[in-house]
C-alpha cells in the first residue's frame, strides 16, 4: 500500500487539532450571550472552513 | 383540498420527480459492479458534494437537532459544528489519499480498502458484518421517522407509511445504483436546504418580528439557551467524539470519497459539503432557538418541528415535510447501497470464485434484502431500536484505529481485528449496563480502548512489511 507523506500533513493536522480542541473547551468558559460561546463557535467553524479551503488551494498549486 | 390531500399530492409529485431523475441516471449507467456501486468514479464535484451532504444529514437535523436546541440551546450547535470541523479535517487531509489508493487498487467499498491494506480477507468480512450489525438499526430509525411523520401529517397508518418508504427507496436505489442515488441525493439536498431556509425565513418574520428582534428576544428572555454548559460536559463529549470520526467510520460516507471523477471534483466535494453543512446547521439551530419562544413548555422535543409546521401555511408545511422525507430517504438509500456493495465485494466476492456478472446480480439482490431487513426492524419495538441506533454511532468508532492504521507502518492485522472486537464489546457492555466509568460515555470509551488495543498489539508484534 502506498505511504502517505506525514510531514506534508503534520502542520495542518496540528492546526486543525487546535481548532477542534478549542471548540471542545473554550466556549464553556465564555458568557451566555450571543457575543460569547455562540459567536465563538460560528467564527471558529468559519475559520476551519477557510483554513480547509487554503489547504486545498495550496495542494492544487503543487 | 384538505391538508392531508395536499401532503399526499406533494409526496406523489416529489416521488415522480425523483423517478425521472433516477430514470435519467439509469440511461447513463453502464455495466459492472464498479459502475453500479461507485458510478465508476465518474461523479462530478457538485453532485459529489450534494450526495455527501444528503447522505450525512438525515431526519436527525430537522427533527432531532431542532428539538435538542430547544432543550439545551447552543451546546447543540457546538456539538454539530465540532462534528463539521472534524469532518473537514478528515476530508481535507486524508480524502485525497483515500481517493488515490482506492483508485489505484480498484477498491469499491471502504472495507475492501482495509482488506487490501492489511492483506486479509477476514478483516474486510468482519468489518462488513460489524457495520451491518450497527447500521441496520440506524436505518430502521430513519424508516420509523418517516413513518411517524407521514402518519402525523397525512393520516396514513404507520405500517403503510413505512411500506411506502420502502418502495420509494427501492425505486431510487435498485434502478441504477450509485448514479441514481447520487443524482436523486442532489435533488434531495436542494429540497432540504431550500425548505429549511424558507421555514426559517417565515419563522423569523412571522413569529419573531425579524432577525434583529430574534437576537434581542433570545438574549433577553432565553439567556440560558446561550450558555455552552446547558448540556452536561460529559454528554457533550459523549455525543461529539463519535461524530468527529463519522467521515471515516460510517461506510456510507467513507465510500463517497471514492466516487469523484478526479482530485479537482474531490476538492469541490469537500468545499461544497463544508459550506452546505455550515449553512444547514445554522438554519436548524436558529429554528430550535426560535421554537423555544414560539411554543414554550413542550416536553417531547421530537414534536417541536411538527408543532411548528402546524402553525405554518400549508404549502410551506408541505415543502418542509418533503425536505424532511428527502433527508431520510437520501440517508437510507446510501446506507443500503453501501452495505450491499460491502456484502458483494467483502463477503461474497472474497469467498466465492464468481464472475462480475454474478457478483452484480448478488449485489442487486442484496439491496432489497437489506432494505426489507431494516423495514422489518422498523416494525418492531421503537424504544429498543432507538437505543440500538444511538449505540451504533458509538460502536462504529471501533473501526477508526484500523483506518488510521493504514498510515502507520507498524499496523498489524491481529491488532485491527482485536481493536474492532474489543471496541464493539466495550460499547455494547457500557451501553446496556448503563455503567459509564468516570462518567465517560460509551463512544469515548470505545475509541480509547480500541486505540490502546490497536497500538499495543501492533507494537508487540513484529513490524508490518509494506507491499
Residue with cell 434581542: B216
Separation CA B262–CA B296 (nearest Å): 50
Q: For residue A12, give the nearest of B86, B93, B228 by CB distance.
A: B93
The pLDDT, as a whole number, for residue A62 is 43
Instruction: Establish if B227 touches chain A: CB-CB under 8 angstroms.
Output: yes
Separation CA A31–CA A49 (nearest Å): 25
Are the Cβ atoms of B244 and A20 closer than 8 angstroms?
Answer: yes
| Nearest CA among B258, B268, B252, B247 for reference residue B90 | B247
Are the Cβ atoms of B85 and A19 closer than 8 angstroms?
Answer: yes
The pLDDT, as a whole number, for residue B467 is 42
Number of Cβ within a 10 Å radius of residue B215: 15
Instruction: Establish if B405 touches chain A: CB-CB under 8 angstroms.
Output: no
pTM above 0.90, yes or no: yes
Number of Cβ within a 10 Å radius of residue B384: 11
Q: Which domains are seen in chain B, by residue range? A: 3-381 (1.20.1730.10)
Are the Cβ atoms of A27 and B228 closer than 8 angstroms?
Answer: yes
The nearest alpha carbon in chain A to B119 belongs to A1
Number of Cβ within a 10 Å radius of residue B163: 17
Give how far A39 is from chain B: nearest CA, Å.
Answer: 10
Are the Cβ atoms of B219 and A34 closer than 8 angstroms?
Answer: yes
Residue with cell 507491499: B467
pLDDT in tens, B394-449: 889 999 999 999 888 888 999 999 999 999 999 989 988 888 898 888 889 999 99
Number of Cβ within a 10 Å radius of residue B392: 22
pLDDT in tens, B70-123: 999 999 999 999 999 999 999 999 999 999 999 999 999 999 999 999 999 899
Instruction: Establish if B81 touches chain A: CB-CB under 8 angstroms.
Output: yes
ipTM for the assembly: 0.94
Mutation choice for B interface testing from A11, A17, A22, A24 by most B CBs within 10 A: A24
Give how far B161 is from chain A: nearest CA, Å.
Answer: 38
Instruction: Establish if A16 touches chain B: CB-CB under 8 angstroms.
Output: yes
Instruction: Establish if A5 touches chain B: CB-CB under 8 angstroms.
Output: no
Are the Cβ atoms of A13 and B92 closer than 8 angstroms?
Answer: no
Are the Cβ atoms of B78 and A49 closer than 8 angstroms?
Answer: no
Q: For residue A32, give the nearest of B88, B91, B227 by CB distance.
A: B227
Q: Which helix (H) or strand (E) holds B229?
A: none
Instruction: Establish if B74 touches chain A: CB-CB under 8 angstroms.
Output: yes
CA angle, residues B196, B201, B203, in degrees to nearest 5: 90
Give how far B225 is from chain A: nearest CA, Å.
Answer: 8
Are the Cβ atoms of B215 and A34 closer than 8 angstroms?
Answer: yes
Give how far A15 is from chain B: nearest CA, Å.
Answer: 10
Are the Cβ atoms of A49 and B100 closer than 8 angstroms?
Answer: no
pLDDT over 60 (residue A60): no
Residues in chain B predicted with pLDDT less than 70, given as ranges, are: 381-390, 462-467
Residues of A in contact with B116 (CB under 8 A): 1
Q: For residue B81, give the nearest of A45, A52, A55 by CB distance.
A: A45
Mutation choice for B interface testing from A4, A26, A60 by most B CBs within 10 A: A4
Backbone angles phi, psi at B230, to 5 degrees: -70, -30
Instruction: Establish if A15 touches chain B: CB-CB under 8 angstroms.
Output: no
Are the Cβ atoms of A16 and B78 closer than 8 angstroms?
Answer: no
10 Å CB burial of residue B66 (0-12, 13-18, 19+) is buried
Residues of B in contact with A34 (CB under 8 A): 215, 218-219, 226
CA angle, residues B294, B297, B302, in degrees to nearest 5: 85
The set of residues, in sequence order, having a beta carbon less than 8 Å from that of B160 and lying 6+ positions away, is none
Amino acid at each position: 500500500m502506498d505511504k502517505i507523506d506525514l510531514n506534508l500533513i503534520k502542520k495542518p493536522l496540528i492546526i486543525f487539532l487546535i481548532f477542534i480542541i478549542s471548540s471542545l473547551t473554550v466556549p464553556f468558559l465564555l458568557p451566555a450571550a450571543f457575543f460569547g460561546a455562540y459567536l465563538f463557535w460560528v467564527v471558529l467553524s468559519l475559520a476551519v472552513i477557510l483554513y480547509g479551503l487554503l489547504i486545498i488551494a495550496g495542494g492544487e498549486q503543487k | 383540498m384538505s391538508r392531508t390531500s395536499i401532503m399526499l399530492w406533494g409526496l406523489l409529485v416529489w416521488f415522480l420527480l425523483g423517478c425521472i431523475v433516477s430514470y435519467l441516471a439509469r440511461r447513463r449507467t453502464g455495466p459492472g459492479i464498479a459502475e453500479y456501486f461507485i458510478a465508476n468514479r465518474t461523479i462530478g464535484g457538485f453532485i459529489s458534494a450534494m450526495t455527501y451532504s444528503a447522505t450525512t444529514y438525515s431526519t436527525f437535523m430537522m427533527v432531532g437537532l431542532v428539538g435538542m436546541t430547544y432543550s439545551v440551546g447552543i451546546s447543540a450547535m457546538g456539538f454539530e459544528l465540532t462534528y463539521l470541523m472534524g469532518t473537514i479535517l478528515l476530508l481535507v487531509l486524508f480524502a485525497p489519499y483515500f481517493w488515490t489508493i482506492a483508485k489505484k487498487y480498484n477498491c469499491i467499498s471502504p472495507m475492501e480498502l482495509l482488506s487490501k491494506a492489511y492483506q486479509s480477507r477476514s478483516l474486510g468480512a468482519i468489518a462488513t458484518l460489524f457495520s451491518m450489525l450497527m447500521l441496520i438499526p440506524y436505518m430502521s430509525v430513519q424508516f420509523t421517522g418517516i413513518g411517524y411523520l407521514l402518519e402525523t401529517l397525512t393520516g396514513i397508518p404507520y405500517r403503510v407509511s413505512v411500506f411506502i418508504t420502502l418502495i420509494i427507496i427501492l425505486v431510487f436505489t435498485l434502478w441504477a445504483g450509485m448514479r441514481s442515488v447520487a443524482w436523486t441525493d442532489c435533488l434531495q439536498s436542494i429540497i432540504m436546504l431550500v425548505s429549511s431556509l424558507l421555514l426559517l425565513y417565515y419563522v423569523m418574520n412571522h413569529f419573531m418580528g425579524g432577525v434583529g428582534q430574534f437576537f434581542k428576544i433570545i438574549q433577553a428572555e432565553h439567556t440560558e439557551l446561550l450558555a455552552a454548559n446547558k448540556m452536561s460536559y460529559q454528554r457533550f463529549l459523549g455525543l461529539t467524539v463519535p461524530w468527529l470520526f463519522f467521515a471515516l467510520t460510517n461506510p456510507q460516507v467513507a465510500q463517497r470519497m471514492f466516487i469523484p471523477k478526479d482530485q479537482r471534483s474531490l476538492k469541490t466535494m469537500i468545499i461544497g459539503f463544508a459550506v452546505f453543512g455550515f449553512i444547514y446547521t445554522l438554519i436548524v439551530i436558529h429554528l430550535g432557538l426560535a421554537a423555544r419562544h414560539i411554543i414554550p413548555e413542550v416536553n417531547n422535543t421530537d414534536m417541536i418541528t411538527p408543532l411548528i409546521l402546524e402553525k405554518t401555511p400549508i404549502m410551506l408545511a408541505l415543502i418542509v415535510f418533503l425536505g424532511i422525507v428527502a433527508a431520510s430517504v437520501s440517508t437510507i438509500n446510501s446506507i443500503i447501497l453501501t452495505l450491499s456493495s460491502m456484502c458483494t465485494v467483502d463477503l461474497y466476492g472474497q469467498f466465492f470464485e464468481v464472475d462480475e456478472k454474478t457478483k452484480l446480480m448478488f449485489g442487486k439482490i442484496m439491496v432489497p434484502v437489506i432494505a426489507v431487513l431494516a423495514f422489518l426492524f422498523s416494525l418492531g419495538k421503537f424504544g429498543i431500536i432507538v437505543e440500538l441506533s444511538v449505540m451504533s454511532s458509538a460502536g462504529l468508532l471501533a473501526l477508526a484505529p484500523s483506518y488510521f492504521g493504514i498510515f502507520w507502518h507498524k499496523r498489524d492485522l491481529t491488532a485491527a481485528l482485536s481493536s474492532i472486537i474489543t471496541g464493539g464489546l466495550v460499547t455494547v457492555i457500557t451501553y446496556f449496563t448503563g455503567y459509564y466509568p468516570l462518567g465517560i460515555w460509551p463512544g469515548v470509551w470505545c475509541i480509547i480502548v480500541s486505540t490502546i488495543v490497536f497500538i499495543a498489539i501492533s507494537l508487540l508484534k513484529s513490524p508490518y512489511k509494506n507491499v
